[in-house]
Amino acid sequence: MNLKNKKSFSSSLFILLTVLFCGIIPSFAQYPEKTITIVNSNNPGGVIDLMARKLAVIAKKYEDVNIIIENIPGGSGTAAMNYVLSQPADGYTLLATLKSYISTGLLSEDGVKINDFHLLACMVYDWEAIITNKNSEVVSFEDILKDAEIKNGRQKWLGPNTGGLDHLMALETWEKCSIQARWIPFEGSSVSIAALLGGNGVVYVGNPLDVKGRPDLHIAAIASPNRLSDFPNTPTFIEKGFDLKEQMWRGFSVKKGTPKNKLDFLENLLKKVSQDTEWQSYIKSGYAEPVFLNNAEMEPQLKYEEASAKRLLTRAGVINESSGKTNKNSWLYLIAFLIASAAFVFIVFKLKKTLNDKEFLVLVFLIGIPLYFLYQSSFFPNSQKITENGPALIPRIWSLGLLLFTLIYLFRFKNIKPTKNVSEEYPKLLAVKLVLLLLGYFISILFFGFYISTFLFIISILWTLNYKSILPMLSVAFGFLLLIYLLFEKSLNINLPNGIWL
Amino acid sequence: MENTWDLIGTVLANVLSWQTLLIIVVGILYGILAGAIPGISASIAVALLVPFTYTLDAGQAMILLTTVYMASSYGGSITAILVNTPGTPGSVVTTFDGYPLTRQGKPGLALGTSIISSTIGGILGTIILIIFSIPIAKFALSFGPPEYFALAILGLTIISSLSSDNLIKGLIATLFGLLLTTVGVDPFTGFPRFTFGLSELGDGFSFIPALIGLFAIGEVLVQVETFVSKPKEIDKYSQQFPNFKMIKKLGGLIFKSSIIGTIVGAIPGAGGTVATFIAYDQAKKSSKTPELFGKGSLEGVAAPEAANNAAVGGALIPLLTLGIPGSASTAVLIGALFMHGLVPGPELFTKQIDVVYILFAALIIANIFMLIIGWLGNRLFVKVISIPPAILLAIIPAFAVVGSFTINRSMFDVGTCIAFGIFGWLLKRNDFPTAPVVLGLILGFMVEANLRRTLLMGDFTLLFTRPLSAVMLLIALVSFVYPFIRKKKKII
């Protein structure tokens, strides 16, 4: 090897080693080297939130890991799911996962699915139960069957929103026990229980924890394979001759694409927590069962549960051919209806020789929007008959009412005098400037984050309003931002948006 | 507990300990501050504090969280009165007369009436909770879908009070609010309605950002149109607080509003906000000067504030007697109490009666502390009117943005707030009242869900055959027509 070749060999080796070193270093970096966030869709104090908080405490016993909990409620879990998907797949953002996210995914409009996540482990089985009011005539499982027969399809079952796990449990029970009944959904489990206690239905679908502290409630049957030790007198469906096992499981997931070494670490950690006695007694205190099923063990179960949910929801008409139809070009239709109503209002104004520019825009909205709602509601399921108790019923009533009164208003007033005058021009221009600044502020937050945008916004408004002393301007902007930082970020642990570019 | 004296001893020892008093003071300061920040409603204020209660024992945690609930219900009125920005949904109605009083340079009168009414309402609500919780809980349980529907309709009749000057504009604004509540996934069929394929609209428009937009940003835009750069001066009028004579005059109204607040607050799903509208409506109907409502009536401040804070005691009734939360805040509370090993419900009275009575005593003491802190704070709050308007007009929208974002950590909510703000401005410019839009937003879901539940349960005749529902619908009819008859009589 000559000198030149030697030199080039050494350089190549150096580059190769540098590349390898740079590539290897991160994979050898200690994980976790920063705080892990568990996102959940409950408010603080909810079942899944408390479970995540307990996990954070117990995990510290086994690994030097700092875990914080973030609550992102909304959209039956879609808000939390979308948030986790918006974060990098680096193992630092976990999703506290519920079985009900399967149906959330099936019904979601933006395509978020439980399959977008890698389920690390399922850690809790909370068995589903059918619950009755002890003070009513229908208490036992046999009573329910008998009552259903008498009422012939008019028996009322109560629970949270349609399409949720409790609704699926009801559908499965009806199918397996040959019951014909009606599902009456409420805003949540508490309001459903109040309705049960008030005699507005005969069965509530929930979990054993729902009877805790409520002596008037009775579990008629539980969908567990065996009787629960806390409820030794409560029969299972299997005992009653119906092959029905159903549970709300809870676990933890990460975004798909998370490196394997991090998946292994997290799975291991969750396994250690699941064997911890404090964890087990905590889960049991909520009448649930602590379990540990890893990703490989849950994979076939997830597939089965998704297929089953799809079948039941389709059978109940929740997933139907109308799903998704209304959204096609819906923005375009809205704009078209607004343009049409603008033309209509313009013609009416012309005919009435009115030049009331102030009212023009409001009237365009008040006519265009209900027209659009009426048009869209014709695509809703069960919307053929105007009086049908379907999703179109109420929007149609309000739309027609709004349209009627707006038209009365439009035609009632004659020769409204133009309100425009010179003295109003300047303040009106100011208001329009402020509207533009607000819109700019919103867009700026998306790109530059809250702090820079707010600073610029405050300065701009003050400048626009002729408040131009530099020092007070800066003091107001910095003082406000400091207050917000201390109050929201430091005291309340609320991270304000960072923006795409920062 | 072996006997009553032991129980009293335990309760007093706990409540009067310096730790408990400190917890109450901290809870009130935090609650007032949180309530005054737009976007942080009472339930969010309680929820945000839950993780900080882990180190406290169960009784102390319960006291802290209920104190915060109480104080934040009052705190919302401060920004409602001073800058037309309701800090919590329960203080929307307070803006109707509180803000006009500030515009007239009398913020002290509005703030003073608010703290006194809130305190009396809070104490009366607690007393009713202690004495009448069982019958009220039974009454609350008698509310099924037909009764909720009738209650919502009764609530909607308030538009005749809110817009008797121009009923047609009031009806249009209400119907617009009602129509907007149909956006989102239909809870009965799971079908997405008017969502444009956006998952953010799955739950419909977020109520609080819409509210902040309509009131805070809408008002800022209106103010800019009549912009005066000079701030108001702090004078003897702005520093004037209500005297004993004024309060005595309002006594009957505060009492009546507190009862309305407690009962409506005890009905799960109805809540303090609905109670404030009903109390305001009743106050206007029984007032000797109804024409002052909406223009700066002290009665218009006292009624909703008393009802709002009495509703805290009301919401605790189903929680403590049935284990069912009566409001969003008590729903958070129940989870937090579970975490501390307390099981709210009838068993609490049998197994941990001392905790229940400690809570009752702490609530009374919390109200007294709230009065002192609020009264002293008012001296400071009135100074807001001396801030140059340009600064307020710059800061309020920024605060509105933070508040809207905080609720769901969502920029979509920020967009909702700004859009509703611009729409609110357009409505106000054309003399369309914005209050009925909010009424529609509050009651829309309640009307739809309960009408459709009633139809699922049988048919619409249930609305008229169930006595309570029939009576409420009749009252609603009378209530709607009454202002017009009264107006006609006056003209004649």
Q: Would an 8 Å CB–CB cutoff place A309 in contact with chain B? A: no
Among residues 217-256 of chain B, which lie with CB inside 8 Å of chain A? 217, 220-222, 224-227, 229
Per-10-residue mean pLDDT for chain B, 492 residues long?
73 83 92 85 81 80 91 92 88 93 90 95 94 85 90 86 76 94 87 84 87 90 78 67 85 94 86 89 89 90 95 89 80 80 76 83 92 91 84 91 86 94 89 88 91 87 90 88 68 48
CA B331 to chain centre: 16
Among residues 63-92 of chain A, which lie with CB inside 8 Å of chain B? 69-76, 78-79, 82-83
**What residue spans of A198-329 are helical by DSSP H?**
260-274, 277-285, 295-315
Residues of chain A above pLDDT 70, percent = 86
The pLDDT, as a whole number, for residue A325 is 54
**Domains in chain B: boundaries:** 4-491
The pLDDT, as a whole number, for residue A158 is 94
Residue with the larger pLDDT of the pair A436 and A414:
A436
**Domains in chain A: boundaries:** 1-27, 36-121+249-306, 129-245, 325-412, 423-491
Residues B31-56 as b/e (b if ≥16 CB within 10 A, e otherwise) read bbbbbbbbbbbbbbbbbbbbbebeeb
Q: How far is the C-alpha of B416 from the C-alpha of B421, rounded, in Å?
A: 8
The pLDDT, as a whole number, for residue A121 is 94
User: Does residue A205 surpass a pLDDT of 80?
Assistant: yes
The pLDDT, as a whole number, for residue B237 is 65
Identity of the residue numbered A389: N
User: Does residue A427 surpass a pLDDT of 70?
Assistant: no
Q: Would an 8 Å CB–CB cutoff place A427 in contact with chain B? A: yes
* Predicted confidence band of residue A354 (pLDDT cuts 50, 70, 90): low
Whether residues B346 and A450 touch (CB distance < 8 A) is answered with: no
The pLDDT, as a whole number, for residue B111 is 94
Is residue A386 classed exposed, middle or buried when 0-12, 13-18 and 19+ CB atoms within 10 A define those classes?
exposed
* Predicted confidence band of residue A26 (pLDDT cuts 50, 70, 90): very low
The structure tokens listed for B237 are: 């009028």
Q: What is the mean pLDDT of residues A122-143?
A: 94
Q: How far is B109 from chain A (nearest CA, A)?
A: 28
| Domain boundaries A129-245, corresponding CATH code | 3.40.190.10
Residue B210 has phi, psi (to 5 degrees) of -60, -40
Instruction: Report the SS3 class of residue A161.
Output: coil
Whether residues B397 and A412 touch (CB distance < 8 A) is answered with: no
Interface A–B counts its CB contacts (< 8 A) at: 327
pLDDT digits (tens, 9 = 90+) for A210-266: 898 888 999 999 999 999 999 999 999 999 999 999 999 999 999 999 999 999 999
The structure tokens listed for B221 are: 């835009």
User: Does residue A480 surpass a pLDDT of 60?
Assistant: yes
Structure-token match 């920004």, residue found: B79
User: Does residue A445 surpass a pLDDT of 90?
Assistant: yes
Q: Considering chain A, what is the average pLDDT of its residues? A: 85
Among residues 328-367 of chain A, which lie with CB inside 8 Å of chain B? 330-331, 334, 358-359, 361-362, 365-366
User: Does residue A120 surpass a pLDDT of 90?
Assistant: yes
The structure tokens listed for B216 are: 């805070």
The pLDDT, as a whole number, for residue B353 is 80
Query: Complex ipTM, two decimals?
Result: 0.85
Q: Which residues on chain B are in Cβ contact (under 8 Å) with A46? A: 335
Among residues 11-30 of chain A, which lie with CB inside 8 Å of chain B? none
* Predicted confidence band of residue A438 (pLDDT cuts 50, 70, 90): very high
- In this structure, of A22-31, A37-46, B146-155, B265-274, the range with the lowest mean pLDDT score is A22-31
Rg (CA), chain B: 22
The structure tokens listed for B226 are: 């009549």
Q: How far is B251 from chain A (nearest CA, A)?
A: 34
The pLDDT, as a whole number, for residue A2 is 52
* Predicted confidence band of residue A50 (pLDDT cuts 50, 70, 90): confident
The pLDDT, as a whole number, for residue A348 is 87
Structure-token match 């051919």, residue found: A321
Residue B348 has phi, psi (to 5 degrees) of -60, -35
The pLDDT, as a whole number, for residue B490 is 56
Residues in chain B: 492
Are B144 and A200 in contact, with CB atoms under 8 Å apart? Answer: yes
Q: How far is the C-alpha of B299 from the C-alpha of B287, rounded, in Å?
A: 8
Are B196 and A169 in contact, with CB atoms under 8 Å apart? Answer: no
Tell me if domain A36-121+249-306 and domain A129-245 are identical in fold: yes
User: Does residue A303 surpass a pLDDT of 80?
Assistant: yes
- Please state whether the peptide bond connecting residue A32 to the residue before it is cis, i.e. omega within 30 degrees of 0: yes
CATH number (3.40.190.150, 3.10.25.10, 3.90.650.10, 3.40.228.10) of A36-121+249-306 reads 3.40.190.150
Q: How far is the C-alpha of A488 from the C-alpha of A482, rounded, in Å?
A: 10
* Predicted confidence band of residue A356 (pLDDT cuts 50, 70, 90): low
The structure tokens listed for A457 are: 């916004």
Nearest 5°: the CA angle A377, B448, A166 is 95
Q: Would an 8 Å CB–CB cutoff place B365 in contact with chain A? A: no
